[in-house]
């Protein structure tokens, strides 16, 4: 995502390649670090794949950007703890003061993974957000809910979806109290607290406000969620495959995509490549049946905002892989641009085609 953000920034600035790249990061690429350390334990430090270690270094983002845009100028990465971005920005300012005519790409990137979240909690570094406080969780949902009603009527028994609930699932119970038949919560990892006391306090406040809630006898928060029809999914973009198409009438986020991994984009590419590799000898219909849910979930997760350029890259790449699969099956060369037209790929093979970006607008969508 850092590479994608840099591409967008350069495009908006009208710069093909800057004179220098300066980045700041506190912990570096934690996802790849976790993969490498996990494999080290699993394989007992034997026959380790060096690729995750190479990708885990702090200067990975700056290096990848430089390679992609062929920038051979000044490239620096700052790892000054919580002040890493500020250090990168200060360096960029000093560079521009020395030479005002040059252009510098400066930025900061850090990610929160399930492993890092668990470690930070264990050592008391992680601090919970406001959504753990029942009063604030209720107020946050109310604000989004009332705003949504102004934009259009919600159907009876609607289903709600919250992106990035973070450290609390309380908003799911609040959604049920406001008439949701089912509340979906989607995050990139199991970051939410499991204490049932906050849940009980939330119920007390909602009942005092006159909200009707079914009695819950469960002793644990997980059981309470099951009884209340609150679904907490923690596999990032993969989670959307579990949500029925067209079922969500109200979606919202207090902090949109707060826990999206930097590695989400290349991770999708790796998963798709693995599907094509493993099913190289299978009929194309079988391959498409496997990749369509993956693409649908990924696009749904990133459809809010400015992802059109990223979607276009994925769409073109998938088309190319499908053509290569067809050519291999028929022992043909090339990609068959004329033989297999784009409409034929989508209309006949039913390849996923819903690469639509949702701009700022109504947060209420019709159910069905």
What is the CATH number for 222? 3.40.50
Residue whose C-alpha is closest to residue 140's, from 304, 255, 301, 233: 255
| Residue 122 resides in a domain | no
| Residue 74 resides in a domain | yes
How many structural domains is the chain composed of? 3
Residue whose C-alpha is closest to residue 243's, from 177, 297, 289: 297
Phi first, then psi: what are they for 236, rounded to 5°?
Answer: 60, -130
Considering the domain architecture, whether residues 148 and 246 belong to the same structural domain is answered as: yes
Considering the domain architecture, whether residues 106 and 140 belong to the same structural domain is answered as: no
Considering the domain architecture, whether residues 90 and 13 belong to the same structural domain is answered as: yes
Considering the domain architecture, whether residues 86 and 21 belong to the same structural domain is answered as: yes
Residue pair 249/155 in contact (Cβ under 8 Å)? The answer is yes
How many Cβ atoms from other residues are within 10 Å of residue 80's Cβ?
A: 14
DSSP state of 83: G
Considering the domain architecture, whether residues 229 and 284 belong to the same structural domain is answered as: no
Biggest CA pair distance of the chain: 70
Residue pair 135/205 in contact (Cβ under 8 Å)? The answer is yes
CA–CA separation, 84 vs 22, rounded Å? 11
| Residue 125 resides in a domain | no
pLDDT for res 126? 56
The range of the structural domain enclosing residue 232 comes to 130-252
pLDDT greater at residue 152 or residue 87: 87
Phi first, then psi: what are they for 262, rounded to 5°?
Answer: -60, -30
Residue pair 4/263 in contact (Cβ under 8 Å)? The answer is no
- Judging by beta carbons within 10 Å of its beta carbon (0-12, 13-18, 19+), is residue 203 exposed, middle or buried? buried
- Using alpha carbons, list the distances in angstroms from residue 87 to 60, 93, 290: 17, 10, 45
Considering the domain architecture, whether residues 187 and 297 belong to the same structural domain is answered as: no
**pLDDT tens per residue across span 183-221:** 999 987 787 877 777 788 888 888 888 887 766 677 788
Mean pLDDT of all residues belonging to the chain: 80
pLDDT greater at residue 121 or residue 286: 286
pLDDT greater at residue 341 or residue 261: 341
Is the predicted pLDDT of residue 300 greater than 70, yes or no?
A: no
Share of the chain above pLDDT 70, in %: 84
Considering the domain architecture, whether residues 187 and 225 belong to the same structural domain is answered as: yes
Considering the domain architecture, whether residues 306 and 234 belong to the same structural domain is answered as: no
Using the 3D structure, point to which of 231, 252, 273 is the last residue of a domain.
252
pLDDT greater at residue 255 or residue 341: 341
Q: In whole angstroms, how large is the CA radius of gyration of the chain?
A: 23
**pLDDT tens per residue across span 43-102:** 888 877 888 777 778 888 888 889 888 888 899 999 887 788 888 988 999 889 888 899
Residue whose C-alpha is closest to residue 33's, from 48, 49, 55: 55
HSE (side-chain half, CA atoms, 13 Å) at 198: 24
Is the predicted pLDDT of residue 182 greater than 90, yes or no?
A: yes
Is the predicted pLDDT of residue 175 greater than 90, yes or no?
A: yes
Residue pair 363/148 in contact (Cβ under 8 Å)? The answer is yes
| Residue 353 resides in a domain | no
Considering the domain architecture, whether residues 204 and 244 belong to the same structural domain is answered as: yes
pLDDT for res 110? 82
Using the 3D structure, point to which of 111, 144, 174 is the last residue of a domain.
111
Residue pair 75/106 in contact (Cβ under 8 Å)? The answer is no
**pLDDT tens per residue across span 2-36:** 777 888 888 888 898 899 999 998 888 887 888 88
- Chain position carrying tokens 């521009």: 96
Any residues with CB less than 8 A from the CB of 251 and at least 6 apart, and which? 160, 161, 162, 163, 363, 365
pLDDT greater at residue 106 or residue 201: 106
| Token pair in block for residue 250 | 């109200």
pTM of the model: 0.47
Considering the domain architecture, whether residues 99 and 141 belong to the same structural domain is answered as: no
pLDDT for res 22? 93
pLDDT for res 159? 94
| Residue 165 resides in a domain | yes
| Residue 154 resides in a domain | yes
Considering the domain architecture, whether residues 238 and 178 belong to the same structural domain is answered as: yes
Query: Which of 129-138, 170-179, 294-303, 340-349 is predicted least confidently?
Result: 294-303
pLDDT for res 360? 41
| Residue 313 resides in a domain | yes
Residue pair 252/142 in contact (Cβ under 8 Å)? The answer is no
**pLDDT tens per residue across span 301-350:** 555 444 444 566 677 778 888 888 898 888 887 777 778 888 888 888 88
How many Cβ atoms from other residues are within 10 Å of residue 35's Cβ?
A: 20
């Amino acid at each position: 995502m850092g590479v994608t953000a840099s591409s967008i920034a350069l495009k908006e600035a009208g710069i093909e390649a800057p004179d220098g790249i300066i980045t700041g990061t506190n912990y570096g690429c934690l996802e790849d670090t976790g993969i490498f350390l996990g494999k080290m334990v699993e394989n007992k430090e034997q026959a380790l794949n060096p690729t995750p270690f190479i990708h885990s270094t702090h200067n990975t983002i700056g290096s990848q950007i430089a390679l992609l845009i062929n920038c051979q100028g000044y490239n620096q990465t700052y790892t000054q703890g919580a002040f890493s971005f500020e250090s990168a920005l200060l360096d960029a300012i000093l560079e521009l003061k020395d030479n005002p005519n040059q252009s510098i790409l400066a930025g900061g990137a850090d990610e929160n993974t399930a492993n890092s979240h668990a470690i930070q909690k264990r050592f008391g570094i992680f601090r919970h957000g406001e959504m753990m406080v029942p009063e604030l969780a209720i107020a946050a949902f109310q604000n989004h809910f009332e705003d949504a009603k102004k934009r259009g009527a919600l159907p009876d028994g609607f289903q709600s979806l919250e992106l990035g609930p973070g450290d609390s699932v309380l908003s799911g119970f609040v959604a049920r109290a406001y008439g949701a038949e089912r509340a979906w919560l989607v995050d990139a990892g199991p970051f939410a607290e499991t204490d049932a006391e906050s849940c009980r306090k939330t119920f007390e406040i909602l009942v005092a406000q006159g909200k009707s809630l079914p009695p819950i006898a469960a002793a644990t928060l997980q059981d309470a969620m099951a009884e209340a029809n609150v679904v907490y999914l923690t596999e990032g973009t993969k989670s959307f495959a579990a949500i029925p198409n067209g079922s969500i009438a109200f979606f919202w986020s207090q902090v949109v995509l707060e826990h999206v991994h930097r590695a989400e984009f290349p991770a999708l590419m790796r998963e798709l490549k693995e599907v094509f590799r493993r099913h190289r000898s299978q009929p194309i219909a079988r391959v498409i049946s496997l990749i369509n849910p993956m693409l649908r979930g990924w696009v749904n997760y990133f459809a809010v905002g400015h992802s059109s350029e990223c979607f276009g890259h994925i769409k073109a790449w998938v088309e190319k892989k499908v053509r290569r699969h067809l050519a291999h099956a028929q022992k043909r060369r090339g990609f068959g641009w004329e033989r297999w037209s784009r409409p034929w790929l989508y209309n006949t093979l039913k390849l996923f085609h819903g690469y639509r970006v949702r701009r700022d607008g109504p947060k209420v969508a019709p159910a069905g």
